[in-house]
């Protein structure tokens, strides 16, 4: 079945630095790649997503890149701030027995030190 690998599992940066989270997927038919942020004690929330017909997407300080050939996608956060501290999950669609489903990576805990 579909597998989404995410690394690193933890990352600590200084405020103002950049952070990069990388994910790989196994299903070549995957066509939708969302990123979720989960703050401590809260629900995961979508921060950015990208579709397979686009190579890069930006939204203020965050950007996502997709390399379909290599089957990997990355989240880039620039000028990190303490409020960026959270667990970040990548996901990819995968076709199951019936229809597409979202498969998540195991998450990466980002700590931004003031």
Residues forming the site for another protein (CB under 8 A): 1, 6, 9, 31-32, 34, 36, 42-46, 49, 51, 89, 93, 96-107
CB nearer to another protein: pick between 18 and 28: 28
Q: Smallest gap, in angstroms, from Cβ of residue 42 to another protein? A: 8
Under a CB-based contact definition with an 8 Å cutoff, are residues 92 and 25 in contact?
yes
Q: Smallest gap, in angstroms, from Cβ of residue 79 to another protein? A: 25
CB atoms within 10 A of CB 41: 5
Task: Tell me which DSSP letter residue 29 carries.
Answer: T
Task: Tell me which DSSP letter residue 52 carries.
Answer: T
């Amino acid at each position: 079945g579909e597998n989404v690998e995410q690394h690193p599992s933890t990352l600590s940066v200084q405020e103002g630095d950049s952070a990069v989270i990388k994910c790989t997927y196994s299903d070549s038919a995957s066509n939708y790649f969302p990123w979720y942020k989960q703050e401590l004690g809260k629900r995961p929330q979508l921060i950015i997503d990208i579709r397979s017909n686009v190579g890069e997407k930006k939204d203020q300080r965050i950007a996502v890149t997709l390399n379909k050939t290599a089957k990997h996608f990355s989240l880039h956060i620039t000028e990190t701030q303490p409020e960026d501290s959270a667990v970040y999950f990548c996901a990819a669609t995968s076709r199951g027995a019936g229809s597409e489903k979202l498969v998540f990576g195991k998450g990466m805990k980002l700590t931004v030190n003031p």
